[in-house]
């Protein structure tokens, strides 16, 4: 048993898909969410830069006293696996749990829609080759959706959102993909529109898969907070606090109270 908080980080609102799931799975835990919006988007950066960013985020969360870390970011999970696995504080990412969920659901044709840096890393291909080599895999990178989500624009009724999604999803429709991993944690925020555009396709929410892995990690290491709860949530933001709060209010029922949000102070940036 351990009453310290669990840390979660992403470049921005995408990680809220993991936070929502983790809150539902572990209602007694105190959660600390780091939104590194000063450096969003991560998905266009190189592996060296992403590792430096991930290390910064781990150090910041550790300075806040977390007992475990969820890298709620496909890009970091794909490019910084050795850092996550080797970090002294128990930590996990979102990639492997997403592939395991897809392997259990897919009927032959799996797809991954993620950031360009994730696709470039080849990490999904390697995981599918070892976990589900029988599946055909189509992966595509995307740079259009993260800025829309950061602006709070995910609705299927938004013409620009719909056009961006049509472009992003067409290769999967053409390939007959039956199970699609939304492999950037920002992308499940578009699930409603994706379901309309790819009816019948099973969607894997990478944020939710990562949250399940983090809950299993804490449980397996004897780190769970027995309560009584409910646990608190505190948000640290490296960029503009009010824009993050405005976008997050669209994705979190009840929004965020001013007292729950602080500036993320870093030793280096
Ligand atoms: N949400 C992150 C991911 O899962 C980062 C997206 C970005 O900042 O480009 O890849």
Ordered DSSP codes for 88-135: SS-EE-SHHHHHHHHHHH-SSEEEEEE-HHHHHHTHHHHHHHHH-TTS
Please say if 73 is a catalytic residue: yes
Query: Has 218 been annotated as catalytic?
Result: no
Domain ranges of the chain: 6-93+209-268, 95-206
Nearest-atom number in ligand 1 for the CA of 39 is 8
Q: Which of 42-51, 97-106, 259-268 has the lowest mean pLDDT?
A: 259-268
Tell me, what's the pLDDT at 269? 47
Return mean pLDDT, the chain.
Answer: 96
Q: Is CATH 3.40.50.1860 the classification given to domain 95-206?
A: yes
Mutate-to-test residue for ligand 1 from 42, 187, 244, highest number of ligand atoms within 8 A of CB:
42
Verify cis geometry, omega within 30 degrees of 0, for the bond prior to 191: no
| pLDDT at residue 126 in the model | 98
The pLDDT value given to residue 229: 83
Q: Is 27 left (phi over 0), alpha (psi -120 to 50) or beta?
A: alpha
Residue 44 Cα, ligand 1 centroid: separation in angstroms? 9
pLDDT in tens, 56-77: 999 999 999 999 999 999 999 9
Please state the rounded mean pLDDT for residues 167-177: 98
Catalytic pick among 28, 73, 80, 92: 73
Is pLDDT above 90 for 253? no
pLDDT above 70 covers a percentage of the chain that reads 99
Domains 6-93+209-268 and 95-206 share a fold: yes
pLDDT per residue over 143-165, tens digit each?
A: 999 999 999 999 999 999 999 99
Cα of 227 vs centre of ligand 1, distance in Å, is 32
Return the CATH number of the domain spanning residue range 6-93+209-268.
Answer: 3.40.50.1860
State which ligand 1 atom lies nearest to the alpha carbon of 185: 4
Q: What pTM does this model have?
A: 0.97
Could you tell me what percent of the chain has a pLDDT over 90?
A: 96
pLDDT at 254: 86
Q: pLDDT tens across 4-41, in order?
A: 999 999 999 999 999 999 999 999 999 999 999 999 99
Ligand 1 atom nearest to 72, measured from its CA:
4
pLDDT of 266 higher than 80: no
Which tokens in the block code for residue 124? 């999904």
């Amino acid at each position: 048993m351990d009453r310290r908080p669990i840390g979660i980080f992403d470049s921005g609102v995408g990680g809220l898909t993991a936070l929502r799931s983790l809150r539902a799975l572990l209602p007694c835990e105190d959660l600390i969410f780091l939104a590194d919006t000063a450096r969003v988007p991560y998905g266009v950066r190189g592996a060296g830069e992403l590792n430096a960013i991930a290390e910064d985020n781990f150090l910041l969360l550790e300075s806040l006293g977390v007992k475990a870390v969820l890298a709620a970011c496909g890009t970091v999970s794909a490019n910084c696996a050795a850092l996550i696995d080797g970090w002294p504080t128990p930590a996990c990412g979102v990639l492997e749990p997403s592939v395991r969920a897809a392997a259990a659901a897919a009927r032959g044709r799996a797809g991954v829609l993620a950031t360009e840096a994730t696709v470039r890393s080849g990490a999904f291909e390697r995981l599918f080759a070892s976990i589900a080599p029988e599946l055909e895999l189509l992966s595509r990178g995307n740079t259009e959706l993260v800025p829309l989500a950061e602006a709070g624009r995910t609705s299927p009724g938004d013409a620009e959102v719909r056009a961006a999604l049509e472009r992003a999803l067409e290769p999967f429709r053409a390939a007959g993909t039956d199970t699609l991993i939304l492999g950037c944690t920002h992308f499940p925020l578009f699930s409603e529109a994706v379901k309309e555009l790819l009816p019948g396709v099973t969607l894997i929410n990478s944020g939710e898969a990562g949250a399940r892995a983090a809950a299993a990690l804490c449980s397996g290491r004897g780190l769970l907070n027995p309560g009584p709860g409910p646990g608190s949530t505190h948000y640290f933001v490296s960029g503009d606090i009010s824009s993050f709060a405005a976008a997050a209010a669209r994705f979190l029922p009840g929004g965020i109270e001013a007292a729950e949000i602080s500036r993320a102070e870093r030793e280096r940036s």
